[in-house]
Amino acid sequence: MKHLFTIFSYLLLLSNPSFADPALRPNVVLLLVDDLGWQDVKCYDVDAPTPIETPNIDALAKKGVLFRQGYSPAPTCAPTRCAIMSGRHPAAAQKTHVVGGNPPTPYNKTAHPVMDPWYSGRMPLSDVTIAEALKANGYVSGHSGKWHMAIDHNAFPQPEDQGFDFTRHDLGESRAMRPHRLTGFATKAKTDHYRLDADGFPKDQMTLDALDFMKANKDKPFFLYYAAWLVHTPIHSRSKALLEKYCKKLGVDYPSDPTGWPLQGQKNPYYCAMVEMLDHYVGQIISYLKQTPDPRRPGHFLISNTYVIFTSDNGGMERVPGEIITDNFPLDKGKINAKEGGVRVPLIITGPTIRPGQESHVMVNGLDFYPTILSWTGTKKPKEQKLDGSDLSELLHKHPRNPDLVKDKDGKPRNSMVWHFPHGVAQQSTIRVDGWKLIKNWMPGRPEHELYQLHGDSAKSSKESGRKELFRRMEAMEKRVDIEEANNLAEKMPEKVEAMSKELFRRLDAMKASYPYFNPHFKRPLPHKEKVCKALEHGREGQKVWAHFEERGSKVVKGQIVYTLNGGEKSEEWYLTPAQVKGDRLVGTLPRGATHYVFNLVDERNFLVSYPDMPDMMSGGNGRGKAKYSVQAFKSD
């Protein structure tokens, strides 16, 4: 009876966003893991079971809804984090990859035919984060662990600049072992910074920081953003016992060489130990909620008034140079790729109005967290903040298998999602519609389109109606067809490719997405490469700047001025401003305060020429290379 009263109370709250009883406002805990793959968690086993033990995450899944088709907004870290915290699609926010804030240049000047477009180095300060929205409703917000929503880990803005009342960044157990990963294991000594706990796991300071936040604020409605550094590189285990355990379980010798790992599949004992450590720290967070009385609701524990979201920022990182980390099989590829292994992630949601022991095959996305949290907490949507995700609260509370309960902006059932990753060697834009997925490849030499049927066709049919039609679509979505993305149907189904491609670009253009350019420095043949323009001279009058160029076969059709306000500083950050083509000149206005600038000229074949020429991403800028872009740019003084 008490449980029914609780559900009724929450439904009242959900139906009335102005309802402000502090005793009813639930807590929200977002557990965002770094680089955890879809097949690295025991409860997600399909086909060959994983050797990794995750009892706490498995137990959490039994308390709520496990999503089999949960996705990250991007296949890399920073854009996903920004998208979750702001509710904005990476393409709309111009934040589609890590770092950013550089002039558009190739990753390798001569080896890659395509170069990334400009993308932002940060989440805009004007975005209203979840923490800022909740603050207006009386919530206190805490962050522990990784941030990485700026041009580097320590650059502006930081959590305290975007609504968080509490923030700590300790690397915890993830800090690299010195001098290498077969030395410095944690012990039970009181002086050991990573002293083993009663269960034999190393102390993780970032988890303790999260517990400190909850202890200090348990008498208030709180939002905890627990941003784990695990299971990102460096791949190691401070627990020697765990490393030995997985060597034995995997049937491999205890390593004598700390460098690399050569075995294919989920055969890396360091990584297996890391995932089990992560599971232990997740268990510490959940145990605190289960064991701590709720000061706002006498006779209850915090867990009964807390929604928990557990997920990963992108798919598993399968390998780095010299080391095989894990295997996302049956999904193809992994982090830094928009195929399923890079964007399909573990996702578990529990809470006071969510029935335990459920599974869902409805497509959901990290973009959906923001509007869902607003509903759970009775918080009004900030007027100035656009949200690109969907509210999942009705799906979670009523029927997690029913795809019609997830609505798009027009109030219609959402049946599609878009990803945009014009970066690195991947260079992809993708769309999923019902059980189908289309990949647009921007890189020359690959098929322009790939079409896969991941699951059964769940599109609505005019021949059926009512419950029968709904059950057919639910069963279709749950039917596995080609989640391996092994059977490219693009040549066999050109009409479907055309229709999905049209919708993909309609969506991307509506978000003003930036597209990649051809690289005129590419060492191999590339059509029309020899026809790119040549910049001749430049000049400046006040804030007006211009570049004189000579066309050599391809017409210059547009241009940009890329500028920085802090040239030469550690976190050198670059921005775009438009420029106009006037005859044989590119003309624009340099923003006040700019220290350096570069002209970008784009021709009718989509080749980009920088003036002056910039170093590639391997050589320049923001810690990836030794040279700052400002060294070769024009000075504004």
> In CATH, what number is assigned to the domain containing residue 597?
2.60.40
Within this chain, do residues 163 and 293 fall inside the same structural domain, yes or no? Answer: yes
Q: Report the candidate in 115, 67, 124 with the shortest Cα–Cα distance to residue 90.
A: 124
Q: Is residue 528 within 8 Å of residue 607, measured between CB atoms?
A: yes
Q: Which domain holds residue 174?
A: 29-88+127-365
Do 423 and 278 reside in the same domain of the chain?
A: no
SS3 category, 447: coil
Asked whether residue 198 falls in the same domain as residue 52, the answer is yes
371 within a domain of the structure (yes/no): no
**Which of 467, 484, 518 is the endpoint of a domain?**
518
For residue 18, the model assigns a pLDDT of 36
Assess whether 271 and 325 both reside in one domain: yes
Helix (H, G, I), strand (E, B) or coil at 27: strand
Structure tokens at 16: 């009335």
- Residue 392 contacts residue 364 (beta carbons within 8 Å): yes
Q: Considering 365, 381, 406, which residue would you say is the last residue of a domain? A: 365
Q: List 539's β-bridge partners, or say none.
A: 546
Residue with tokens 């509007």: 371
CA dist., res. 429 & res. 443, Å (int): 11
How high is the pLDDT of residue 405? Answer: 97
Q: Which of 405, 371, 419 is nearest to 474 (CA)?
A: 405
Residue whose token pair is 């039917």: 479
Q: Tell whether 513 and 533 lie within a shared domain.
A: no
- Asked whether residue 402 is assigned to any structural domain, the reply reads no
Is residue 400 reached through a cis peptide bond, with omega within 30 degrees of 0 on the bond before it?
no
Q: Are residues 354 and 478 in the same domain?
A: no
Number of domains in the chain: 3
**Torsion angles phi and psi, residue 471, rounded to 5:** -65, -35
Asked whether residue 111 is assigned to any structural domain, the reply reads no
- Considering the domain boundaries, does residue 559 fall inside one? yes
| Residue spans of the chain under pLDDT 50 | 1-9, 12, 14-19, 622-623
Q: CATH number of the domain that 456 lies in? A: 3.30.1120.10
Do both 512 and 607 map to the same domain? no
The residues that bridge with 574 in the sheet, in sequence order, are 564
- 250 part of a folded domain: yes
Tokens representing 481 are 């067809």
Question: Does 500 fall in a domain?
Answer: yes
Contact (Cβ atoms closer than 8 angstroms) between residue 374 and residue 381: yes
- Residue among 30, 66, 3, 50 nearest 396 (CA): 66
The pLDDT of residue 618 is 83
**CB environment 408-437: b (16+ within 10 A), e (fewer):** eeeeeebbebbbbbbbbebbbbbbbbbbbb
What CATH number does the domain containing 247 carry? 3.40.720.10
Mark whether 183 and 331 lie in a shared domain: yes
**CA 403 from centre of chain:** 23
**Do 513 and 545 belong to one domain?**
no
Do the beta carbons of residue 613 and residue 628 sit within 8 Å? no
272 and 237 belong to one structural domain: yes
User: Is there a single domain that holds both residue 488 and residue 571?
Assistant: no
pTM assigned to the model: 0.95
Give me the phi and psi of 9, to 5 degrees please: -65, -40
Residue 396 is assigned to a structural domain of this protein: no
Would 327 be classed as within a structural domain?
yes
For residue 402, the tally of other CB atoms under 10 A from its CB is 17
Q: Which two tokens mark 350?
A: 């529990």
Pair 36, 82 in one domain: yes
